[in-house]
Structures are given as C-alpha cells and as structure tokens.
Amino acid sequence: MTSFSAKHKPLPLVFNVLSECRTTKARVGKMVLPHGQVDTPVFMPVGTQGTLKGMLPEQLEKLGLQIMLANTYHLGTRPGPDVLKKAGGLHKFMNWNGALLTDSGGFQMVSLLKLAEITEEGVKFQSLNQQKAEVMLTPEHSIEIQNAIGADIIMQTTRWLDRCLKSHANPETQSIFPIVQGTLYEDLRVISANDHIKRDVNGYAIGGLSGGESKDDFWKVVHLCTDILPKDKPRYLMGVGFAVDLVVCCALGVDMFDCVFPTRTARFGCALIMTGQVNLKKKKYAKDFNPIDKDCTCNTCQKYTRAYLHGVVTSYPIACHLLTEHNLAFQLRLMKMIRDSIHENTFPKFVADFMLNLHPDKDYPTWIQNSLKAVNIELL
Amino acid sequence: MKFCIRNPQKRAPRLGILKNIEGRTNIEIETPVVLLHTQGGHIPHVTHEVFKLVSKEPQILQIPLVSMHNFQETMEYYNGTISEFIGNKDSLTCLTLQDPSNLTKQGHHVKEKVPIWTKNGKVLYDSEMYMNIVESFKPDMYYLLSDGDTNKTSAPKRISKAVEHTIIFNNQCLERHKKSNILKKAFVMAPIAGGYCLKSREKCIQAILKNTNELGGFLIDGLHNNGPEVEFLPFEEVRDVVEYVIKSVPQEKLCSVQGCWNPVNVLKLVQQGIDMFDTSYCRILTERSAAMIFPIDNTEEADSFEINLRQSKYVDDFTPIMFSCQCLACSKYSRGYIHHLLTVQELLAPVLIMIHNIHHYLRFFKKIRECIQNNTLSDLENRISEQYKNHQEKVLSAKTEEEPRRTYPRNDVGDVE
C-alpha cells in the first residue's frame, strides 16, 4: 500500500487504479494526498469561502466526505492570503482535516466577466470588497494565494501554466493540475491535452464545460479528452455534478467532479433522489410523512418527514442545513454505488438500470444513448 | 410530570425537580431551568444533531405556537407527538403561544380571541382552536391560552381587558383539559395577566386559584411584548409585580417567566423565586453577532461581558471565543474564522456563535443551581453585575449614536457562489 509517511521524499499525490470496467472507460482508483485518501470516482462539494454551507466539518467527516473544494478568488479577497498564512493555512483556519482542492480563480474570470479585464499579464477584477478598488489576479498571485490556502490539489490554466509551475512554492505538498481548455473545438482540445501530457504533473482537469453547451457537444469533448489523457493519472471534470452527468462521465473515464448544484439547490428547498429532485416547497408534501428517500441513511432521512421539511424550508436556516446534509449524502452514495459496481464488474448494468429508473418510458435523450453507446453500454 | 421543591423551608431562591415524566421516568429536570427556545421546532441555526455536540443532557424545548401555526393542519393527520414530528423524540416539549425572541405586535384584539402574527399574517386563536392544536401536538407541558399584550405603558383599559380575556381563556381551556384523555398527563401552567397593576394581577390570580388542583405552575405573563428590548428592561420596573405574584400563588407550584432577560436580571428573578426561563436571549445575541464571555466560575476572568465578532479587530485573532469554555465552537474554531464567516455572510457563523451562546447559558444555569445549593448566589451576582453594568452603558450609548447596520430579525439564506 502506498503511504504518505513514506521514508523517502514525500509525494503530494499518489494515484493507483484499483479496478477497471471491462466494457467502458470507467475505473476505480485511490488517490493518496497529504490530507488523506480519496476514493475515485469522487464528487467534491464546493466550500467557496472556507466553509461548506452551514455544515460543521464534524458533520462532513461523519458523512464520510474525503475532499472538498474552495475558491481561490473568494479566499484571496476575504480573508486574503496574509490572514490565511497567519492561520497556518485553510485546513487549520476552517478546522477541516480532509483533503482540499482549490480552483485557479479562472472560473470567476468568466462568472464575474463584467467586473474583469483580461490581459496577457493577468486578470484585473473590480473587487466586491469595499476596501480595495481593484484586485489584480496574475498567475503568480493566484499561485501565491493557493500556496497560502495550502490545498492538496491546485489548478492552473494552459497559457499561464509555466508561470505558475515556476512560482509554485510547495511542490512537495501541493499538486498543480493543468486544465485542458478549447471549448467545443475538438482540434483545440487535442492540442491542449497533448500539450499538457508532456509536462510533469500529477493529474489533469477538463475545463470550459458545464457552461450551458448542448449535451450532445458536451459528452463528445469529455470522451475525446479522456482518450488522450494518460490512464495512470486522475482526470477531473470541472463544474459537473448532476447525477446523470456523473454516471455518464464516469463511464467515459472521469475520476473527479465538483459542482455547487447539490448544496445550492438544497438552500432552495430541493432534495435529490435517484429519479430526480423533490421540491419540498410544493404543497403536496404537507401531509407526506415519509422521509425524502426511504433508501437513504442520512440523518435527515432518518429523523425528518417531508411534511416537516415542507413547513420549514425557506423559513429557517436549519432547513438548509438538513437538506444540504441529505444532498451531500446523496452525492456520496451515488459515487459509492458507481465505485462498487465497477469493482464488482457490474457497472454497465448499474448504468442501464439507473437510466431506466430515470426514464421508465425508455424515452432516453439522444446524448445519453450516444455517449453510452460510445463506451459499449446498451440501454434497457 | 410532577414538580417538587427540594428546599421547601425557603421560598426563594429555591431548587426544584421536574420528575415522574410520562414515558421518561429515567429523566429528571432540575430547576431553576432554562427551556431551549425554538422556532419551527429547532433552536435557531442549530439542528438537533448539532445540539447533541453541545449537550447530551435532557432538555425541554420551548415551542412557540406562532412559529408552528403552519403545521396546524398537518398535525391533525399526524399520529405522533410534536417532539417526534420535529425530529427530536428524546426531548421534552413545552408549548407556548408567542415567540419570546420576536416583538409581538400590539393590539388587534377581538372578543374571546387572541391574535398571533405568523409569516403569513394575522391569525386569531380562541380557546377551542388553541386546545385543538395542544391535543394534536401532545406536548409534555403547555400554557393555557392568555392575553399577554401589556407592558409598562399599558393603559388601565387594556390591562383590564387582558385580565378579563385571560380569565375566560383559562377557564375554557381548563374545561377542555379536564375532559381530554390525550392531555391527562400533560403539565399545565396558567398565565397570569394584569400588566403592572397589582389589583389586576390579584383579580387574575383569584380567578385562577379556583382551579389550583389542575395546575402544575404559573406564568407571569404581560410584563412585556417580547423581543430584543426585554434585554434592557430595568429590574426595578418588574420587581413589585413579580414579588406580588410569587407571594400570591401557592408556593408548591412552578413559577415561570418568558423573554430575553439578561443574566443579571435572571439572577434577580431567581432570587425572587422564579423557576423557569428560556434561551431567547441567546438568539438575540447571536443575531447581532455577539458571543457571551461573562465569567461563570470564580476562576474565570473576562475583560468584557460579550464580544461582537463582527468587529475588524478579530480578523487575525486565532484564539477561541473564550479560553475556559469547553464548547465545540471554542475548542475547534477561532474568533478570526468566525469573523471571516460573518464578513462573507456564511451560514456557519451564527451556527458557531449559537453553539457557544447556548452552551454558555446552560452552564450559567447549572452554576445558578450550584450557587443556590451552596448559598453563594450573591457572589455570582457580584461577579457579573458590575461587568454587565459597564456593558449595558456601552451598548445603550452606541445605540443612540448610530442605528444598527442590520435590521432585526435576520433569517436570510446566503448564496454567494
């Protein structure tokens, strides 16, 4: 077994593929990071500001969460790298002993585009913070913040990758994943992916998707990238977290995912189940004394009825906490089912059953039919 | 459920026990006790699971009907008790009408009905509707319906109406209680109305005393209209009324008040003989981002009564809220981290502050019982009252200088990604 307490020079990431699906590109792996092991394929919930939406790290540990994401841009603004350094890094600051991954701040370049000016040097943001007028996020600055945060895995995009690798201060404890870009242009994706695999990095991310493109385009890009990226390193598909997308993309060979959706939708009163969502605001749940999901073992499903949750959602913060816990448990359970079925070599059946459950009338969307056909899965 | 006094030779301060609790014969609750104030069935910001990380001791949840009114119909179809429904079957429950942490709107009275202000507006409750909900909730303890809409400034006419209504409600509800099989074992308490007029209080007490056998205790109602301002109610204003009521009701019965009484006033009320309070004060502090740090043990020292974690001086303060505190928030999280959570409006900030405040307040009540036992209550009062006085002056002067930045109450849900 690979261990971090190895006597030799420590590695910030060791990835081992434990089983591979014989039909699809899916695989089960174990990633060993400075702050613990991560079973892949993994879903990483998003703790933007150094906290996961009202949940205590004590609760997250109990749920079995191994890794979460934090945002470089937000933490770089508040509390800022100086406070994070003084605190001894984000792990200590937020009392989270599991693994952490930080993005590059590049996504905020897109989501806060109105506030950003992009030049060769870097990205200049009009700060959301009242104290400072502008924030310049250069690749060096992004790495400085990410070093101060101290996450196990940090991200950087192609154009600035070499500037980042050069200014990276903690190569022994933090891995930089380059991000394959190229939107929906297959030729650009091929160039980007081939460019990255030449470099000495511990894993790769696929970025620039989940931005509203059609699903028919989306899966083809993922399929193309996972074909090029080496099998012995983890592949992270950024911003993807709907259950159906997770199932398909695991079949396409992706190992890591993140998305704000499960925690965000919880705060709007929506609970996730295998066949979709339960919008607890709806009146029809007022006398429904069943749990959200009778197969779910989370604390919310053990103790609370839909009727109770219906009466508190959108009124009290505790309702957000209860639904967030359920939705996190749902994502973790789905990923475990995927891993177990790959291990037991029943993954194709799992995928087919999952899709049939979702579409009992077999009116499967074409992108699901085509993407799964590409990895040899026949739907029921 | 039965209330027994442990030191009957002395009227006040006194120690008592709530025991022989239906279905929980293994549980005893010591008084003076603080009920856990809830909204929608939970301590604000703290789920029952998180509360288990604060304390594993048995607790009584105070359930304000006004925050549960929207479940009225649901509960008619539900077979269990309110504690099961809200997901906390291990806790005891005490049903009350208004939410002591929110200011109750005055006026809008209708004959034989009392208004409550739910999130969907005004709802009028009469005795029948109220007792229907009590039967469907099946709480361990509850108050009879009352008209508590009086305060220091109430006109004589309002006071006499409040008494008149309360007497009618008490009688109607008690009639219903006597006939109810479901409520046979419930601990019933009668609210006493009458504002700051001793004659009116007397009238209300005389009417209620006819039913003493059915009652486990009393509530001194109508001292205020709830909400944050109760924190700064001068004790001198309420002293005479409290003293009069305590003197006039049978002394073997439990005597309670509701509202956000500050710790110094809690001590004074305990010294007068009050047995039961609630934690709405913790919510008031948490909503203004304040954490209590007043010293409870004589080994503890604090340079102020409470701290406001929003202040920028805490940005790189990596010490806990209170070094000597054993709560989860103090053992694992720093002032600087909570300050960060507050500045970015994250949901975890009030969770951590509330965990500490509730823990501190429960510890305070434990200390009160210990001090009554040892006859050292005045030491405790001396320890905190000077600090409280300085603190109150600071808060009140700051209040007049600048309006608070945030309006109260705040139940918003942040979304920043």
Q: How far apart are CA A48 and CA B160, in angstroms?
A: 57
Contact status, residue A178 vs residue A161, Cβ threshold 8 Å: yes
Q: How far apart are CA A196 and CA A73, in angstroms?
A: 24
Does residue A130 carry a pLDDT above 60? Answer: no
Question: Which residues, listed in sequence order, are joined to residue B278 by a DSSP beta bridge?
Answer: B35
Q: Determine the average pLDDT of the residues in A305-309.
A: 98
| Number of other residues whose CB lies within 10 A of the CB of residue A155 | 27
Q: Determine the average pLDDT of the residues in A209-235.
A: 94
Of A269, A268, A306, whose CA–CA distance to A290 is shortest? Answer: A306
Ligand-binding annotation for B282, yes or no, is no
Category of B324 on φ-ψ map: left (φ > 0), alpha (ψ -120 to 50) or beta: alpha
Find chain A residues with C-beta within 8 A of B48's C-beta: 303
Round the average pLDDT of chain A to a whole number and report it: 91
Q: How far apart are CA A30 and CA A362, in angstroms?
A: 35
Told to judge if A295 belongs to the known catalytic residues of this protein, a careful annotator would answer no
Residue A110 in contact with partner chain B when CB distance is under 8 A: no
Residue A58 in contact with partner chain B when CB distance is under 8 A: yes
Ligand-binding annotation for B371, yes or no, is no
**Residue A174 buriedness (CB in 10 A; 0-12 / 13-18 / 19+):** buried
Question: How many CB pairs below 8 Å do chains A and B form together?
Answer: 129
CA distance, residue B86 to nearest chain A CA (Å): 7
Confidence of residue A241 (pLDDT cuts 50, 70, 90): very high
- Give strand ranges (E) for A181-307: 204-206, 235-237, 256-259, 270-273, 276-279
Measuring CA to CA, how many Å separate B208 from each of A196, B128, B135, B174, B240?
Answer: 83, 19, 22, 10, 20
Does residue B122 carry a pLDDT above 80? Answer: yes
| DSSP one-letter code for A114 | G
Q: Determine the average pLDDT of the residues in A317-338.
A: 98
How far from the centroid of its chain's Cα atoms is residue A351's Cα? Answer: 20
Does residue B390 carry a pLDDT above 90? Answer: no
Confidence of residue B146 (pLDDT cuts 50, 70, 90): very high
Quote the pLDDT of residue A230.
97
The token duo for A343 is 């291990």
Confidence of residue A223 (pLDDT cuts 50, 70, 90): very high
Q: What is the pLDDT of residues B58-110, one digit of tens each?
A: 999 999 999 999 999 999 999 999 999 999 999 999 999 999 999 999 999 99
Confidence of residue A133 (pLDDT cuts 50, 70, 90): low
Number of residues in chain A: 380
DSSP A83-109: HHHHHTSHHHHHT--SEEEE--SHHHH
| Cβ <8 Å between B41 and A312 | yes
| Cβ <8 Å between B336 and A93 | yes
Quote the pLDDT of residue B302.
86
Residue in chain B nearest A283 by alpha carbon: B74
What dihedral do alpha carbons A305, A263, A216, A114 form, nearest 10°? 140
Does residue B404 carry a pLDDT above 70? Answer: no
Q: What is the pLDDT of residues B201-226, one digit of tens each?
A: 999 999 999 999 999 999 999 999 99
CA distance, residue B312 to nearest chain A CA (Å): 11
Round the average pLDDT of chain B to a whole number and report it: 94
CA distance, residue B333 to nearest chain A CA (Å): 7
Told to judge if A258 belongs to the known catalytic residues of this protein, a careful annotator would answer yes
Q: Model-level pTM?
A: 0.95
Quote the pLDDT of residue B406.
42
Does residue A29 carry a pLDDT above 50? Answer: yes
Alpha helices in B308-376 (DSSP H): 328-332, 335-343, 348-374
Which of A129-143, A318-332, B41-55, B325-339 has the least mean pLDDT?
Answer: A129-143
Quote the pLDDT of residue A135.
67
The topology under which CATH files domain B2-287 is TIM Barrel (3.20.20)
CA distance, residue A320 to nearest chain B CA (Å): 8
- ipTM for the complex? 0.94
Contact status, residue B18 vs residue B1, Cβ threshold 8 Å: yes
DSSP A277-333: EEETTSGGGTT--S-S-TT--SHHHHH--HHHHHHHTTT-HHHHHHHHHHHHHHHHH
Quote the pLDDT of residue B410.
39
Chain B 30-49, CB below 8 Å of chain A: which residues?
39-42, 44-49
Residue B411 in contact with partner chain A when CB distance is under 8 A: yes
Q: How far apart are CA A184 and CA A213, in angstroms?
A: 8
In chain B, what is the straight-line distance between the N-terminal and C-terminal CA atoms, in Å?
A: 50
Q: What is the pLDDT of residues B327-357, one digit of tens each?
A: 999 999 999 999 999 999 999 999 999 999 9
Q: Determine the average pLDDT of the residues in A236-263.
A: 97
| Cβ <8 Å between B413 and A317 | yes
Quote the pLDDT of residue A3.
47
Q: What are phi and psi of B240, to 5 degrees?
A: -65, -40
Q: Which of A51, A79, A303 is opposite residue B87, by nearest beta carbon? A: A303
Does residue B163 carry a pLDDT above 80? Answer: yes
Residue A286 in contact with partner chain B when CB distance is under 8 A: yes
Task: Give the residue ranges of the annotated binding site of A.
Answer: 103-107, 181, 208, 296, 298, 301, 326
Q: Determine the average pLDDT of the residues in B174-200.
A: 97
Confidence of residue A158 (pLDDT cuts 50, 70, 90): low
Q: What is the pLDDT of residues B294-333, one digit of tens each?
A: 999 989 988 889 999 999 999 999 999 999 999 999 999 9
Chain A 292-321, CB below 8 Å of chain B: which residues?
299, 303-305, 307-308, 311-312, 314-321
Confidence of residue A1 (pLDDT cuts 50, 70, 90): very low
Which of B125-134, B270-279, B390-399 has the least mean pLDDT?
Answer: B390-399
| Number of other residues whose CB lies within 10 A of the CB of residue A142 | 28
Q: List the single best residue of B53, B347, B352, B358 to mutate versus A (max A Cβ within 10 A).
A: B347
The token duo for A78 is 């508040």
| Cβ <8 Å between A287 and B77 | yes
Domain borders along chain B are 2-287, 290-381
Contacts of A259 (CB under 8 A, 6+ apart): A43, A46, A210, A239, A240, A241, A242
Residue in chain A nearest B338 by alpha carbon: A94
Q: Which of A46, A51, A315 is opposite residue B40, by nearest beta carbon? A: A315
Q: List the single best residue of A46, A51, A85, A323 to mutate versus B (max B Cβ within 10 A).
A: A51
How far from the centroid of its chain's Cα atoms is residue A120's Cα? Answer: 28
Percent of chain B whose pLDDT exceeds 70: 96
Does residue B417 carry a pLDDT above 50? Answer: no
